Structure 1
């Protein structure tokens, strides 16, 4: 006698449910990954370069809509990621996985790593160019190119320093950009036993600067980062 075997209804339902869940999982896996912070970094980089999405895309041989998707958080192709980081002048991990979006910082002039010297104003309108810097806390930043070797233990000649205008209250042994009578210098603040502006150098010829009175020196900002080539 021939008996037709029919799977129990419960098993059939479980199978359909499992297939549906697997299908939904595959659809989720096939969706492009998103990184909104990276999108904001890419937009900040493009803005710093002063380029439209179309012109920016030409650097990577992609069309304007692709750049628009990047800025909304879609991940660029793997081969393009190192190019973006290099263009931003940042290490790849910092550019891709930093805690927040990059900031556009104006490189406004140079500063003497020696005695006080004349320099141009530290305002964005006077910027030579703009830098894209990642992982900076909230602040009002400007960048300066270093000239001289009196601070070469932290910032050699031709390095770029990033200073925060919002941090002007002196702290012992911290680094600042100082201004006096229209001239500026980059030094370490030593508050005890009295204010002096110390060099931080491998060159023993550099000597501290002792302002005649604290009021004769103005703090333009605390130096929070140094960018240098190896």
Structure 2
């Protein structure tokens, strides 16, 4: 008696077709997903997806689309699960920034071939990331040395008590804005030696973007 072959779930069939389209193995896709999503995504997880034994979250689906250049059918993209999941953004990590002494802005302008970091639930904006230097501690109450800062260049409206990347006299720094007469860039540190930077009218002064999130790997 012949045994009926079970039909694969649509998501499993699409992932298999996407890998074939891109000429990728399960190990290749697992490695790329690990890099893109910054999670441990091994071959066994891809194998379970292809066998129909593991669900695919919306951020994983979007990442597979981008990696393989193989769009998912509308029926898969418009599932209730996908609608609930936040969109994952690829943020370029451009450079390091001090949180103490001012530093020349060597790469505030986006460049090709920079590392991309994946983050969700950031909202609309023009995003880039900077790394706080290991010896920078003037903002360590909110961003310890080694932290990754996510900056929105589209959000430059100054509000007292919020943190921004500033350019002062052509050099960059990470500080908290404080209204006043004069206004000043305030450190937020456990180190009492750090002093505020007062903003005078004659000083060249610009806001590069607001720091929306700090991420620190332990």
Q: Please, what TM-score do these two structures have when normalized by structure 2? A: 0.64
Tell me how many residue pairs correspond in the alignment. Answer: 169
Is 1:222 aligned to residue 210 of structure 2?
yes
Counterpart selection for 2:55 from 57, 60, 75: 75
**Are the aligned partners of 2:99 and 2:175 in contact in 1 as well (CA < 8 Å)?**
yes
> For residues 105 and 188 of structure 1, what CA distance do their matches in structure 2 show?
22
Q: Which residue pairs with 2:117 in the alignment?
A: 131
Shift of the 103–228 alpha-carbon distance from structure 1 to 2, 3 Å rule, reads same
User: Of Structure 1 and Structure 2, which has the larger fraction of its residues in helix?
Assistant: 1
> For residues 98 and 128 of structure 1, what CA distance do their matches in structure 2 show?
30
Runs of 4+ in 1 over 3 A off after TM superposition: 30-34, 51-54, 62-70, 96-99
- CA-to-aligned-CA distance 1:159-216 (integer Å, 9 cap, x gap): 1100000011111111000012331000000012321000000000000001222762
Q: Which residue pairs with 1:21 in the alignment?
A: none
> For residues 115 and 187 of structure 2, what CA distance do their matches in structure 1 show?
28
Task: Quote the offset at 1:98 in angstroms.
Answer: 6.9
Q: Which has the larger radius of gyration?
A: 1
Q: Which residue pairs with 2:163 in the alignment?
A: 175
**Are the aligned partners of 1:177 and 1:185 in contact in 2 as well (CA < 8 Å)?**
yes
> For residues 198 and 127 of structure 1, what CA distance do their matches in structure 2 show?
34
Structure 1: gaps (5+ residues): 1-29, 44-50, 85-95
Shift of the 207–127 alpha-carbon distance from structure 1 to 2, 3 Å rule, reads farther
- CA-to-aligned-CA distance 1:103-157 (integer Å, 9 cap, x gap): 0000000111012111322233256411001111000001000120000000011
Q: Which residue pairs with 2:128 in the alignment?
A: 142
Aligned-residue RMSD, C-alpha: 3.9
Task: Quote the offset at 1:66 in angstroms.
Answer: 7.9
Shift of the 106–52 alpha-carbon distance from structure 1 to 2, 3 Å rule, reads farther
Q: Please, what TM-score do these two structures have when normalized by structure 1? A: 0.61
Q: Which residue pairs with 1:213 in the alignment?
A: 201
